[in-house]
Structure 1
Amino acid sequence: MSPIKDLALIYEAPNRAGFFSSGDTVTGCVSFTLTKDTKVKSFKVKVNGEAHVHWRETVGNDRRSYTSHRKYFKDKKYFVEKNDKGTEISKGDHSYKFTLKIPEGDWPSAFSGYSGKIVYTLEARISRSWHMPTYVQKELKFAAKYFPQPDQTMCPQTDSVAKGDVQMSATVDKKSCSPGETLIVIAHISNMSSKNVAPKVSIQEKIRYHAIGKSKYSDLSVCKVVGNTIMPNSVENVSCQLRVPEKSYTVHNCDIISVYYYVKVYLDIKFTIDPLVAFPLVIVPAGVSGQTVGPHPAGVAGGPSANDFPAPAFSYPAPVAQGPYGNPAPNQIPYGAFSTGHNIAYPPQSVPSYGFSSAVFPPALVQPQAPYAPPMFQHGEQPPSYMAVFPPPNSSK
């Protein structure tokens, strides 16, 4: 039976959001109890960051495995230096304080997917001769220092599509957001066909895993809502509120895992290809200071932070609580809510210049653009920009 009992590892959060980033320090304490005097070969604490992908594919009788790994950084501190003969630690309670440094670098945000993950860990490990090591490990919340922010982050995006006798013009109220925030989608739908039409809105997560010259893609719906059926020969204005799910973040600076998001607004029509429009969406952790990608001036965003890098060039307005304009408080908004008619209300000062109101909807319909092919990547090649790897829409229902 091991004489090492109650090995515990605690650390201080760098800010209210609890996210670390490059350049931060990790301070904490390791504690344990020894039931007798014990010799240890080494005793250390370390922080490290790494990315790993792995998947298998079977074609006929040929089964192939694809694996790739990236090590970003590691910093460690020895409380007991390596010694094969062992260093004796006395019986009783022990506590050791530590400070570790996360080096500067363009490290990607933490992510976990079916075929890969980007993980940052803090670990304390005690090694003894002829025994398995005793250790405790914790995953750190980690946010990238730089974010791919589009121009005019808080400006709405608008697009239109027409398919036969069905037309739709849709608008989403922002280009960038954080988990837990609410997106507002408005659509003007003209159904002059003989079929029923059901409006649907979803937040799509596009993941690309890459290893030894091979890429694997997934396109998943992380949030989806369905509106009421629009009858033939009718026109409807519909509105939708989508709450961005937790733990959803854009990952743009890892060469083996890329994660991008977009809002898909489409019409479900039986026995035909669904008309749709798609809007890119950048999701970054809330309350984390950072810098945007591109020549933007620094600004203030989120809550106080111990991070020592400049603040980003964007900020998120506080959600509007229940009040005279009818906007629900954040904790009253489900992951999706649809409504029809002219019932989306905004405070007067937040109405965009082109007119979000109960009477004015997005600009006139335009002809849809030709579809584009999925992005192609070469082994070891980084995508040139966020828009270059924005995923093509998926018409699955």
Structure 2
Amino acid sequence: MGRLKLFEIALDGDKAVYEPTEVVSGHVVLELRGEMRLRSLKVDIRGLAKVHWTESRGMGTETGSYTQHFTDELEYFHMEETLLGNGTDSESEAEDDQPLLTAGRHQFSFSFQLPDERLPTSFEGKHGNVRYWLKAEIDRPWTLPSKVKRDFTIIDHIDINDTYHLTPTGGSREKTLCCWLCTSGPVSLSARTDRRGYCPGESIAISAEFENHSSRRMIPKAALYQTQCYRAGGKTRTVRENVAHMKGEALSAGDTVQWENRLLPVPALTPSIISCSIITVEYSLMVFLDIPGGMNLILHLPIVIGTVPLSRQPYPIHMFPMAGISTPFADAPPSYDECMAGLPSPDIPVEAAS
């Protein structure tokens, strides 16, 4: 780095998590071994959602196949500030007009107002991400620019105290089983939750009734699923994961079983993301009867994962992991893989996840 000993971005108060409308402020730090002349020092702030995946396309037996890329991005904001120099980046500028920094430590303050529009929560997924960052750049005569980047997190708070999130969600399903030419009795289930919205660390209270009037033995189960949807080029790529699950005692032929506020703990999860047009993260509770040798009877109930629990303050940031962060943010939430480490493989038949 030559005379440039240290080049970094420091945020005021070591803050790493922000909300829309907040001010992101701090300073760019330069520590020099000797004098350094530069044309400009700039810092910019940016928020971007990006999606990318590939699909193989066949072209016939003779021509083989090709790979098609699906990419889209959505910029939420991009602001720039010149901290030193005139910012023209002109090679013809007279040397005497260029700032000269002495050896030692220098700090240059910056401040950016985040927009008041709804900004989606920071997210890292398999086929896309929502990222926010600061980037500083030093432009020196006859030398390639030096750059440094600092990521930060934005949380789009979802208040579980809203009436919609406090409303229970429920439903019922029924079907008749068949075995060859014989028709078995009906099986049915009805289920409801105590509310629609939850925060990590809370538990979903499930009340349900399972009726088995068939001749088969079956097992009542419940699972919380996260569904990530990525959109680009008029197509959608979906990734679905089981993030929590439980099962009850088996129902023999003619049995009826009731669950009364059975608790399914909500693990550390990314909040629901619905404000981004190219990436969404949604949740659903699946209550079902696992029927050996037959199609499972399944009831899907929509669930919202929020950030502001019942009558309390927003949850600490570490409760909201982002999947697969390659370069961890300072004081960032743990990665999705870290949070999900040790979670047993879901004991759910293939049919249940279809």
Range class of TM-score, shorter chain: 0.7 to 0.9
Residue in structure 2 matched with residue 356 of structure 1 by the alignment: none
1:156 paired with 2:168, answer yes
1:70 paired with 2:74, answer yes
Deviations 1:192-221 (A, max 9, x none): 333232222222222222212222222322
1:302 paired with 2:309, answer no
Q: Aligned in 2, Cα 1:241/1:233: closer, same or farther, shift over 3 Å?
A: same
Q: Aligned in 2, Cα 1:13/1:258: closer, same or farther, shift over 3 Å?
A: farther
Residue in structure 1 matched with residue 225 of structure 2 by the alignment: 204
Q: Give the number of equivalent residue pairs.
A: 299
C-alpha separation between the residues in 1 aligned to 2:251 and 2:105? Answer: 70
1:135 paired with 2:147, answer yes
C-alpha separation between the residues in 2 aligned to 1:335 and 1:174? Answer: 25
Given that 1:182 and 1:243 are in contact with CA atoms closer than 8 Å, whether structure 2 keeps it comes out as yes
Pick the aligned partner of 1:121 from 120, 127, 133.
133
Q: Aligned in 2, Cα 1:26/1:177: closer, same or farther, shift over 3 Å?
A: same
Q: Which structure's residues are more often strand, by fraction?
A: 2
Given that 1:243 and 1:335 are in contact with CA atoms closer than 8 Å, whether structure 2 keeps it comes out as no
Residue in structure 1 matched with residue 50 of structure 2 by the alignment: 52
Residue in structure 2 matched with residue 186 of structure 1 by the alignment: 207
Determine which structure has more spread, i.e. the larger CA radius of gyration: 2
Deviation at 1:55, TM superposition (A): 0.8
1:93 paired with 2:105, answer yes
Secondary structure, counterpart of 2:165 in structure 1: coil
Q: Which moved more, 1:147-156 or 1:169-178?
A: 147-156
In structure 2, stretches of 5+ residues that fail to align are: 59-64, 92-97, 177-185, 316-341, 345-350
TM-score (norm 1): 0.66
1:108 paired with 2:120, answer yes
TM-score (norm 2): 0.73
Deviations 1:128-175 (A, max 9, x none): 345554333233221337889985422322212222332222121211
C-alpha separation between the residues in 1 aligned to 2:51 and 2:276? Answer: 11
C-alpha separation between the residues in 2 aligned to 1:128 and 1:36? Answer: 14
Given that 1:148 and 1:252 are in contact with CA atoms closer than 8 Å, whether structure 2 keeps it comes out as no
C-alpha separation between the residues in 1 aligned to 2:38 and 2:236? Answer: 45
Identity of aligned residues (%): 24
1:229 paired with 2:250, answer yes
Given that 2:159 and 2:307 are in contact with CA atoms closer than 8 Å, whether structure 1 keeps it comes out as no
Which amino acid in 2 is paired with 1:22?
Answer: P
Q: Aligned in 2, Cα 1:395/1:303: closer, same or farther, shift over 3 Å?
A: closer
Residue in structure 1 matched with residue 187 of structure 2 by the alignment: 166
Q: Runs ≥4 in structure 1, deviation > 6 angstroms?
A: 145-150
Pick the aligned partner of 1:251 from 247, 254, 273.
273
In structure 1, stretches of 5+ residues that fail to align are: 288-298, 305-333, 337-393
Which amino acid in 2 is paired with 1:63?
Answer: T
Deviation at 1:116, TM superposition (A): 1.0
Q: Aligned in 2, Cα 1:130/1:204: closer, same or farther, shift over 3 Å?
A: farther
